[in-house]
Amino acid sequence: MDTLIDKRKYARLSQEFPVKAKVLGTPLEVEGVTLDVSQGGAFILSLSWSAFHANDQTEIQFSLPPAFTGQKESLLLRGPGTVIRVDGDRLGIAIEFLQELRTFKVIQAENV
């Protein structure tokens, strides 16, 4: 008898972080907040969820607070992803990162 097993490569963290997602090749950039995040992807809640389509190539920008990073400042990280699911019931999008979150480029550090 088969049992349901979560086959995710990375553990998910239920954490809300401010995020911006830009669809590459378009002027579309929307703001949202993560519902959960891992090294391999995130589910992002956004009022603009319907502007996205599965397989859209995106650039994701996260703002991570010092309490999460252990740094003295908030970190602004940017990296690539692909929309793997648009979920109208949950008002959001699932994005798979094309590289691990920890390797996203630090584009800014802010004092809090």
Assigned token pair, 35: 């519902």
Q: Where are the domains of the chain?
A: 18-111
Are the C-beta atoms of residues 54 and 99 closer than 8 Å to each other? no
pLDDT in tens, 7-45: 668 778 889 999 999 999 999 899 999 999 999 999 999
pLDDT number for residue 10: 78
pLDDT tens-digit map of 72-98: 888 899 999 999 999 999 999 999 999
Nearest to 101 by CA among 17, 25, 23, 32: 17
Q: Which residues contact 7 (CB under 8 A, 6 or more apart)?
A: none
Whose structure tokens read 């401010």? 18
Whether CATH 3.40.50.360 fits 18-111: no
Which DSSP symbol is given to 5? Answer: -
The two most distant CA atoms of the chain are separated, in Å, by 54
- Is residue 20 within 8 Å of residue 30, measured between CB atoms? yes
